[in-house]
Amino acid sequence: MRTRLVELVNERRALLDKAIESEDLLLRRLGELEAAQSGLSATIRRFDELLDVNLLWVRSASRTELAALGALPDQVWRIVSPSGWAGVAGVLVHQVTHSAVFVLLGLILAAFLWGRRHLIRFIEATSERLGKPTTDRFAYSLQVLVVTLVAAAAWPSVAAVVGWQLQVSSQATDFSMAVGGALLALAMQFYFLRALRLMCIPRGLAAAHFRWPESSVRLLRRELDRLSWTYLPAAGVLLVIVRLDPLNAGWAAGRVAFMVLALTLAFAFFRLLHPKSGVLAHAAKGTQQGRTLPVLYPFWYPLLVIAPLALAVLDVLGYLYTAATLLGRFVQSTWMVVALILLTALAQRWVKVTRRRIAYDKAMERRQAAREARRRDGEHADGEDAAGLTEVEEPQVDLDALSDTTGGLITTAVVTAGVIGLWIIWSDVIPALRVLDNVSLWQQTVTVDGEERLDPVTLADLGLALVIGLATFVFAKQIPAVLEMILLRSADVTAGGRYTVTTLTTYAIITVGLLVVFALIGVQWSQLQWLVAALGVGIGFGLQEIVANFISGLIILFERPIRIGDIVSVGDTTGVVTRIRIRATTIRNWDKQELLVPNKEFITGRLLNWTLSDPTNRVVITVGVDYGTDVRLALRLMEEAVKEEERVLEDPPPLLSFEGFGDNALTLIARCYLGSMDYRITVITALHHAINDKFRDHGISIAFPQRDVHLTTPKPLDVRVRQDGPAP
């Protein structure tokens, strides 16, 4: 037994050695397989990157020749063939008779279509509550938006359900499957068109809630109807053809459908965005958007019109995949912009309703205060009060005047959302732009590890520099509005402080953006030295005033001897500081005239700032009374008038003095302090009225200049007294 056990142990040991050797071999093989798999994954990634970069630039079909149009009748007949559509009808009949789900969905959609007119009636009825502060609410706009979106889903839901049933039916044919897939793909586009069309009904969301001009709304309705009858059928034909023959998507009928689709979009953009007759034509009349239209339209308007036409040309040249991919992203971007426009209109509507409500509440508070004051004085005028309440019902307030801060915040949010949305939509197409790295424009000398070498500046670098430059411009315009809103929530930050922060932030954004743009296009400091030297010579001769004003502007922003909203006196002009720019500061005087003062004047010259550290100011009332007047009584009456004025500060206390004996009067002066410059003129006028009334009630005369005339002649004057009329 021992011998046998030893043999078994040796055999087991040999088997274990073989097993260990096999495991080692397996581990080596697994390591090699992992390395091969990693290499394969890296190759696949490189191939994906290669496809992402080059696929859009590769022709996917042959060019469209005139000879290919000969097959167009047969292809069109294949689409409109009665046999194919009879098969579609047969599939639908089969689903109606065999699918309980289809029947149930059909009943639900029928009820939906029947209730659609009630939803539209609700939309029209809601418009009657708008415009009045007592009945208008922002919630109405949200309700109408939801109801509009629900009502617009009726017919698109029918198309989606029919397309779904055509695809899932057991009796489906190739043609019915293609039609069902096209209906499913177009259902969402159909829904967007119907929703926007329903928003543009005469008393709908656009006209009644957003207050869009009737001409623009009417044009939108007309173009949306045209798109529904041209864009959707052309897209449906194209999708059916692609599904019937995916390998030969270059059918002549398919290319013609794509061209009709592109031409329809180009014509719609041409009509809708025309600078004189489009939907934005009204914005050119004095609004902020109108001032930006001349800047944006020369770029955006031709681009939006030409882009679909360029895609049609690509389709004719055989770049079917490129044209289809770019058209899909183009349409998605268009709908995203439409959604942002609607969100902007909703935000502006909320601002308008809020401002209107605040104005109405303030008007009611003022009227209630006036009624209580009349009641205290014993004046009851019930009829006038009732009439007054009727007038307050429709306060005349400017509903379209939004504050710069709120408008800037809305614009910033929209621009940010637009940039993010465009990045999401076009992210899978952006790698194709790497092909621009192969286009070298010029060379720049760079130093790497102490060695100089030539580095090309490519077309991609130039495009990225343009994008960063545009982004710098947008952020420099919009970021200050966001900072303004953030700082506005802090009670410790004054208006001048907010302006300083936003202005310096704008300067910093512009500086960083310019440095990045110069670095991308190969402009280095060594290449700018000659420009700096030239600027130095120019500063020495003619630019020293401009540079001095710029530096003075920075000193003003940091040292803050003046701030936005301060009341200052410069020379003979007194007014409010409204803007501090790079070169000059704007002061608006009490006549609403704007004086531009170079910044250097505030640093090197004399400046009177009434509200620099303390808004408290002193009012001096000078009164001259006749000789023989009871001066103590007059001073006491003046003191009463000053103390009765509630806007006069008690600390420092008012000071009244008998200043002296004038040529024609006894001079009395009342000196008192006010807490703000806002009501300085009002208080001076009120004190003059009060002092004049008290002096008149107590028989005190306010003196005026008098002169005694002495006549001397060598002989007596001949003085005669004559009376008109008959002698008595």
Cβ 664 vs Cβ 627: under 8 Å: no
Q: With b meaning 16 or more CB within 10 Å and e meaning fewer, what string describes 566-578?
A: bbbebeeebbbbe
- H or E element that contains 619: strand 617-625
Cβ 72 vs Cβ 158: under 8 Å: no
User: What is the helix, strand, coil percentage profile of the chain, to 5?
Assistant: 70, 10, 20
Higher pLDDT residue, 583 or 588?
588
Cβ 584 vs Cβ 549: under 8 Å: yes
DSSP 648: B
Tell me, what's the pLDDT at 387? Answer: 39
Tokens 């696949």 locate to 44
Q: Residue 20: pLDDT above 90?
A: yes
Of the chain, the percentage scoring pLDDT greater than 70 comes to 76
**Amino acid, res. 595:** L
Shortest CA distance to 691 belongs to which of 627, 628, 619? 619
Per-residue pLDDT averaged across 136-148, rounded? 86
Q: Provide CB contacts within 8 A for 608, sequence distance 6+.
A: 568, 569, 570
Cβ 648 vs Cβ 642: under 8 Å: yes
Across the strands, what pairs with 457?
442
Measure the CA–CA gap between 177 and 121, rounded to whole angstroms.
38
pLDDT tens-digit series, residues 673-692? 888 777 788 888 888 988 88
Measure the CA–CA gap between 475 and 510, rounded to whole angstroms.
9
Q: Residue 306: pLDDT above 60?
A: yes
Tell me, what's the pLDDT at 60? Answer: 75
Q: Residue 396: pLDDT above 50?
A: no
Across the strands, what pairs with 570?
573
Give Rg (Cα) of the chain. Answer: 42
pLDDT tens-digit series, residues 523-578? 665 555 555 666 666 655 555 666 666 677 666 666 667 777 778 887 777 888 88
Q: How confident is the model at residue 35 (pLDDT cuts 50, 70, 90)?
A: very high
Tell me, what's the pLDDT at 544? Answer: 62
Lowest mean pLDDT: which of 112-121, 466-475, 546-555, 663-672? 546-555
Cis-peptide, bond into residue 213, ω within 30° of zero: no
DSSP 489: T
Q: Residue 410: pLDDT above 80?
A: no
Lowest mean pLDDT: which of 337-346, 418-427, 469-478? 469-478
Q: Residue 303: pLDDT above 80?
A: yes
Phi, psi of 451 (to 5 degrees): -115, 140
Measure the CA–CA gap between 105 and 532, rounded to whole angstroms.
75
Per-residue pLDDT averaged across 405-429, rounded? 76
pLDDT tens-digit series, residues 54-64? 777 778 777 76
3-class SS letters over 512-543 = HHHHHHHHHCCCCHHHHHHHHHHHHHHHHHHH
Tell me, what's the pLDDT at 701? Answer: 84
Q: Residue 168: pLDDT above 50?
A: yes
Tell me, what's the pLDDT at 23? Answer: 92
Q: Residue 296: pLDDT above 60?
A: no
Across the strands, what pairs with 667?
624, 660
Q: Residue 219: pLDDT above 80?
A: yes
Cβ 141 vs Cβ 209: under 8 Å: yes
Tell me, what's the pLDDT at 12? Answer: 92
Measure the CA–CA gap between 460 and 255, rounded to whole angstroms.
32
Measure the CA–CA gap between 78 and 244, rounded to whole angstroms.
10
Q: How confident is the model at residue 407 (pLDDT cuts 50, 70, 90)?
A: low
Across the strands, what pairs with 569?
574, 608
Per-residue pLDDT averaged across 462-468, rounded? 77
Tell me, what's the pLDDT at 26? Answer: 92
Cβ 455 vs Cβ 446: under 8 Å: yes
Most confident of 3-7, 125-129, 150-154, 561-565: 3-7
Cβ 703 vs Cβ 666: under 8 Å: yes
Cβ 667 vs Cβ 624: under 8 Å: yes
pLDDT tens-digit series, residues 354-391? 777 777 777 777 777 777 767 765 544 444 443 333 33
- What's the whole-number average pLDDT of the chain? 77
Shortest CA distance to 215 belongs to which of 276, 165, 155? 276
Q: Residue 179: pLDDT above 60?
A: yes
Q: Residue 394: pLDDT above 50?
A: no
Q: How confident is the model at residue 601 (pLDDT cuts 50, 70, 90)?
A: confident
Tell me, what's the pLDDT at 385? Answer: 43
Cβ 713 vs Cβ 649: under 8 Å: no
Q: Residue 102: pLDDT above 60?
A: yes
Higher pLDDT residue, 570 or 408?
570
Q: Residue 488: pLDDT above 70?
A: no
Higher pLDDT residue, 422 or 495?
422
Q: How confident is the model at residue 251 (pLDDT cuts 50, 70, 90)?
A: low
Tell me, what's the pLDDT at 287? Answer: 45
Q: Provide CB contacts within 8 A for 53, sequence distance 6+.
A: 431, 432, 434, 435
Tell me, what's the pLDDT at 27? Answer: 92
Q: Residue 441: pLDDT above 80?
A: no
Measure the CA–CA gap between 327 and 339, rounded to whole angstroms.
18
Shortest CA distance to 647 belongs to which of 616, 603, 624? 616
Q: How confident is the model at residue 82 (pLDDT cuts 50, 70, 90)?
A: confident
Q: Residue 19: pLDDT above 90?
A: yes
Tell me, what's the pLDDT at 393? Answer: 38
Lowest mean pLDDT: which of 483-487, 561-565, 710-714? 483-487
Q: What is the dihedral of CA 505, 506, 508, 512, to 10 degrees?
A: 140
Q: What is the dihedral of CA 219, 225, 230, 235, to 10 degrees?
A: 110
